[in-house]
Amino acid sequence: MKKTLLLAFALFATTSLFAQSKVKEGTAKYKIDYDLDAEAQEMKAMLPTDLTIYFKGDKYAAETSGGMMDQKAVTDMKTQETTMLMDMMGNKVAMKITKEDIEKEKNKGKKPKVEITSDTKDIAGFKCTKAIVKSDEGTNVEIWFTKDIAVNNAFKEGYDGIDGLMMEYSVPQKMFTMKMTCTEVKPGTVDDKIFEIPSDYKLMTKDELMKMSGGGH
């Protein structure tokens, strides 16, 4: 289960951002809802309930709260590298995700098709446009995004045409689907310390982290 949570968080942390206008620095808060399979109901108390995204220039950070561990992903656009930070009951570990790592994962399957619709709605005070992402397996994911928040993302290639901050979207997993909905956007100064990597985190490889989390290979 820990492996599933780690992969899910890594996914939405590295695919949620990219835009080019208006609000250029600030914080966005999201609530996380779950559609759980019957056998996954016991997991509910262990899952994160909130997501906060901080954005400033070439950097952004995404962190979750609630659940069995604290998780944070810090991305530097200059290096196109994301560092995952996980605090599992005091066991602090870090894992780096490079642009090459993302490319390898993308090359394992066909690129999803993205359909930008004409549907719009208001989310947290921002006009959002609906997009439908269709995977090779036949799964459709609905994404609502706004172009009015300027956030850079090194991994925007995964969703062609979605040139805005994703304000409402889902991440399907094997045993559940997690849905992120933006509830508030606060423009304003973000402390640079938010994007620093603490020295008390132990850097591990993906394989080492999966073994420690009980996922193995």
pLDDT at 14 over 70: no
Return the minimum-mean-pLDDT range out of 68-72, 176-180, 189-193. Answer: 68-72
- Work out the pLDDT band at 42, boundaries 50, 70, 90: confident
Nearest of 67, 27, 51 to residue 169 by alpha carbon:
51
DSSP category for residue 189:
-
pTM as predicted: 0.80
**Tens of pLDDT, residues 195-215:** 999 999 999 888 887 777 665
Give the model's pLDDT for residue 6: 52
β-pairing verdict for 91-98 and 202-203: parallel
Amino acid at residue number 163:
D
Return the minimum-mean-pLDDT range out of 27-36, 70-79, 154-163. Answer: 154-163
Q: Which helix (H) or strand (E) holds 142?
A: strand 140-146
Give the model's pLDDT for residue 123: 97
**Tens of pLDDT, residues 96-155:** 988 888 777 766 767 788 999 999 999 999 999 999 988 777 778 899 999 898 876 544
**CATH architecture classification, 2-212:** Clam (2.50)
Give the model's pLDDT for residue 23: 86
Give the model's pLDDT for residue 213: 65
